[in-house]
Chains A and B, each alone.
Chain A
């Protein structure tokens, strides 16, 4: 089973994230980048499937030059090769444009399964996997907390509000994973050394056959009109429990008409 894992580099969760004032996109230059946490689970799941049933794992990342750090990490974990879609024309792509570009790049890589994280920590939209399935005409198996690969089929447990759904589809399929699915491995020293020699292909818009007017800020379907830091919250009232903390809290709730 050949698998492509889509991995995104995002601003470090702990860093203060910003939008750049000029074009209102996420400022990716001024902060440290890390692999989107959920994508580590996607990489791990791909490696587990490969270990059980063979095939190749390819990492696919769309993002600026510095996303190579994230690609290296995925390769150090054990992925076989990588494709980096990088082009100035991609800057500012929203989900609609990103999914189009990723679908085009996927067209250049042979695959039975595409695995993604369920959500990126910067965009937090949780839409790219479903969009990709739609674009590729492949089955959508998203929010997986368990993946079972059969002969030409994939079965997942899809996390729901009340429990889970068992969903099955033929390959090719697009799978997104939740963080309950596995425990991502740490790259070993050997893995880090090996990663340096693994093939990394760079694709430009032209290489992937991407129409330039369908990506980037101009090709996106959405725009940020305005943004502002959230007005600082008025400092709340904090009391120390002197044996009456519960009563004081109840009084506050009564004042606010919750009781």
Chain B
């Protein structure tokens, strides 16, 4: 069976959940090989084996931390050249998409982004125009490069004993132009990351003021969820921009999305419409968000949300 490369997304070596999702997906399409770029491989090794990698390409000294995106694309292109894989799967995160973009140019290959599934023959399932149309697309040139949204596949362990191959890299000067001087982490609680979370609870203008986001956080914590916000809420400074969901924020596709005091503007929908289950609380029965919901409550969030949080705590 042909090799399918999976780019490992990791923090100091610890792979993110989406990596296991992609390894699981790759297994249904061919023989999964992981490509690990950067420092901390020791933290990844066992997990990659647990999720079925047959082979791991390790580029430890790629200096991927010091320069933006380009080094990763360069390493990956080198591995593609060497392994001639059937396809390359990359997490559909902002950076993942950029790595895919550069890899596509380097290898003269077609690239498909934001897949929510990949089927036999590397047919990517995408949802476009804010979820209005479902598309099946294929790469017709070079090696299929497909970025896949987090939460598209349920990760399943399938222990393997991967072989390891060290990839020696000499970065080109072109890859070392955009130098990262500093990485700044802004306020962040112990909550799961927005794009990876199985449940997302988002608040909007209906909250009235920033301090009321405490209600959203409490509800989120009762469910182990991530917190999102509409642009109206981030623009008002009630919640950080990094938590904005929508066209100009993050695209999320969780098992459960809860929209609290959010009207459901088209730009907001663009970032959450592929969520599996959607619920909303809004006092306006005409709010467009209700067109999307599986369950909606027409009511004042200041009554409904605290009651909901209590009820969830009671049922634990």
> Residues of A with Cβ closer than 8 Å to B?
13-14, 16-17, 19, 37-38, 94-96, 99, 118-119, 121-122, 124-131, 133-135, 137-143, 145, 155, 158-170, 173, 178-180, 220-230, 233, 236-241, 243-250, 252-254, 256, 258-259
Contact = CB atoms under 8 A, between A and B. Distances in A.
Given A164-B184, A224-B136, A238-B293, A246 B310 contact: yes
Interface size class of B (residues with CB under 8 A): 35 or more
A140 B70 contact: yes
B101 A134 contact: yes
B147 to A, nearest CB: 9
Nearest to A218: B140
B43 interface: no
Contacts of B127: 230
Given A167-B178, A173-B178, A258-B199, 17 more contacts: A38-B248, A118-B248, A129-B98, A142-B98, A143-B94, A162-B242, A167-B68, A222-B141, A225-B136, A225-B138, A227-B134, A236-B296, A248-B297, A250-B311, A253-B312, A254-B315, A256-B256
Given A163-B186, A241-B298, A249 B181 contact: no
B133 interface: yes
A238 B286 CA distance: 11
B112 interface: yes
B123 A225 contact: yes
Given A127-B111, A161-B195, A256-B277, A222 B312 contact: no
B123 to A, nearest CB: 6
Contact of A222 (B106, B138, B307): B138
A129 B105 CA distance: 12
Interface string B55-75: 000000000000011100100
A222 B112 contact: yes
A259 B312 contact: yes
B141 A96 contact: yes
A96 B133 contact: no
B296 A163 contact: no
B290 A126 contact: no
Contacts of A38: 248
Contacts of A258: 199, 223, 255-256, 277
A139 B138 CA distance: 30
A38 to B, nearest CB: 7
Contact of B178 (A137, A169, A237, A253): A169
Of the candidates A223, A243, A254, the one having the most CB atoms from chain B within 10 angstroms of its own CB is A223
B134 A222 contact: no
Interface of B: 68-70, 73, 93-94, 97-98, 100-102, 104-106, 108-114, 123, 127-129, 131-142, 174, 177-186, 188, 193-195, 199, 223, 241-242, 247-248, 250, 255-256, 266-267, 270, 277-279, 281, 285, 290-300, 303-312, 315-316
Given A245-B297, A249-B304, A259-B315, A139 B177 contact: yes
Q: Is the interface of B mostly helix, strand, loop or mixed?
A: mixed
Query: Which 7 A-B residue pairings sit nearest by Cβ, starting from the closest?
Result: A241-B299, A221-B110, A246-B307, A139-B177, A127-B101, A163-B186, A246-B308
Given A167-B68, A221-B140, A236-B295, A96 B104 contact: yes
A246 B304 contact: yes
B276 to A, nearest CB: 9
B112 A180 contact: no
Contact of A130 (B102, B129, B184, B291): B102
B198 to A, nearest CB: 9
A253 B70 CA distance: 44
A249 B279 contact: yes
A6 to B, nearest CB: 14
A173 B183 CA distance: 20
Contacts of B250: 161
B135 A224 contact: yes
Nearest to A180: B241
A233 B123 CA distance: 24
B131 A230 contact: yes
A247 B310 CA distance: 9
Nearest to B102: A134
A124 B128 contact: yes
Contacts of A166: 180-184
Of the candidates A16, A94, A135, the one having the most CB atoms from chain B within 10 angstroms of its own CB is A94
25 contacts: A13-B266, A17-B132, A99-B105, A124-B114, A130-B102, A131-B101, A138-B177, A155-B181, A160-B183, A160-B242, A161-B242, A161-B250, A164-B186, A167-B68, A169-B177, A170-B177, A173-B178, A222-B140, A224-B137, A236-B296, A239-B297, A241-B304, A250-B312, A256-B277, A258-B277
B105 A245 contact: no
Contacts of B135: 19, 224, 226-227
Of the candidates B131, B180, B195, the one having the most CB atoms from chain A within 10 angstroms of its own CB is B180
Contact of A230 (B73, B133, B256, B307): B133
Contacts of B174: 137
A110 B225 CA distance: 50
A3 B242 CA distance: 29
A162 B94 contact: no
Contacts of A142: 68-69, 98
